[in-house]
Structure 1
Amino acid sequence: MSGIVETTGTQTPRRQPDREATTRLPDVHAEPDGSARHTLLGAALEVFTERGYAEAGLTEIAARSGLLVGSLFQHYGGKRGLYLALWEEFREEQERRTAATLAAERERGVDDPVDLFVAGARAYLEGAWDNRRLAMLLVEDDGPAGFDALRRQWDRAWVRRNARLLEVDEKRRVGRVRVRVLTTVIGGAARELGDCEDEGEAREIVDAVCGILVHLSALPG
């Protein structure tokens, strides 16, 4: 679930899944207003974190949010829809963060692919720390049916985006492997950040990982 979002403009791009990302999010009847959405997803995150997805109950989520179970079904179609909405929220925030960082770096004249990639990786990791409860939930194996396939699809899309950002020739196997290794390093570091005890330790990890990425990104291929 890791990767740097490539963008050429100053606005954050909307989600553009690659052709293979065909697994779809559930249709909903209506999106709740911002306050209700925040409350409902916050309650869902609490219950999923405490109970795990399989053991989480809709009644408890509704009770904590102060909304009726029927309202939960109306907006998200059930527990699976809530979980996927949390995933979408995390991904969108990470995309906004990394896209804004890349735009700012380009604005100040940075054009080296490795420098841009590492700046985006830092932004992604800082976002994983800031949203660590949600990030840790989404890497667990206890998710709804079909989520692993959806996550793998987007992982592959992120690898391709990173390859474009690094200007790697994707036709060469060595280039593809190199980018996949880099993306895997970011994902593994994001998981470790979830177990950090304080911000100082988290910053130390982010700095160390960015140093590793600089070294690995500089290799030919």
Structure 2
Amino acid sequence: MGPSQAPAGEDRTVRRALLDAALEVFTERGYTDAGLSEIAARSGVPVGTLFQHYGGKRGLYLALWEEFREEQERRTAATLNAERGRGVDDPIALFVAGSRAYLAGAWDNRRLAKLLAEDDGPAGFDRMRRQWDRAWVRRNARLLKVDERQRAGRVRVSVLTTVIGGAARELGDCGDETEAREIVDEVCGILVHLSAPPG
């Protein structure tokens, strides 16, 4: 059976091993200094198979980013659905609940979140991250029912989103879950205060 004919479960196992090894090496050495041979050795997967699945180091990094984004989006969407199911319809309460879920995900995946916040990524990654950040601001504006056409509303939502992103980076440096919870609680209090419309 050739590599393209590998069973789906085996293919998922190989991909997971490669991504886990890539995360280890990227967090230890940084993206620039990470070596494909070390990633392959740690994963127990031949370098040729790594190239077949991801095309190289950039593909591995982007796959980790995509996995993190998708998980964060799933987590926040599930939280918002649950809150709405409980009858919560206040935009600020929903925004803070979604933010809390996002920050919990950043803590749960702190090594990956910290890696993705660093400036050491593949060429073009900063542009991709900025595009996602703009989409994130737009989603937050819709959630908060802010008119993005008005500069003050855009700025307010952009500041709120930046606070969440900064807090997610801080969580990567927390020593334990208690400290992480304190940061999340503090940030959510700040978000409540900053979310209130002026006036």
Q: TM-score range by the shorter chain?
A: over 0.9
- Residue 188 of structure 1 is aligned with which of 166, 172, 186? 166
Q: How far did 1:35 drift?
A: 1.8
CA distance in 2, matches of 1:33, 1:182: 40
Q: How far did 1:39 drift?
A: 1.1
Instruction: Work out the percentage of aligned pairs sharing the same amino acid.
Output: 82
Matched, 1:39 2:39: no
Q: How far did 1:219 drift?
A: 2.6
SS in 2 for 1:141: coil
Residue-pair matches, total = 193
| Cα offsets for 1:72-106 (capped at 9, x unmatched) | 10111100000000000100110110000000000
Structure 2: gaps spanning 5 or more residues: none
CA distance in 1, matches of 2:16, 2:74: 18
Q: How far did 1:125 drift?
A: 0.3
Matches for 1:117-156 after TM superposition, within 5 Å: 117-156=95-134
Structure 1: gaps spanning 5 or more residues: 1-28
CA distance in 2, matches of 1:192, 1:126: 12
CA distance in 1, matches of 2:184, 2:68: 19
Structure of greater relative contact order (alpha carbons < 8 Å, 6+ residues apart): 1
Matched, 1:97 2:83: no
CA distance in 2, matches of 1:219, 1:195: 32
Which of the pair has more CA radius of gyration? 2
Q: How far did 1:220 drift?
A: 2.7
Matched, 1:212 2:190: yes
Counterpart contact for 2:75–2:101, Cα < 8 Å: yes
| Cα offsets for 1:116-147 (capped at 9, x unmatched) | 00000000001000000000000101100000
SS in 2 for 1:33: helix
Runs of 4 or more, structure 1, over 4 Å off, are 29-32
Q: What is the one-letter code of the residue matched to 2:31?
A: Y
Q: What is the one-letter code of the residue matched to 1:103?
A: N
Higher helix share: 2
Matched, 1:52 2:13: no
What is the alpha-carbon root mean square deviation over aligned residues?
A: 1.5
CA distance in 2, matches of 1:58, 1:35: 18
TM-score computed with the length of structure 1 as normaliser: 0.85
SS in 2 for 1:109: coil
Q: What is the one-letter code of the residue matched to 1:141?
A: D
Matched, 1:172 2:150: yes
CA distance in 2, matches of 1:33, 1:166: 41
CA distance in 2, matches of 1:204, 1:59: 40
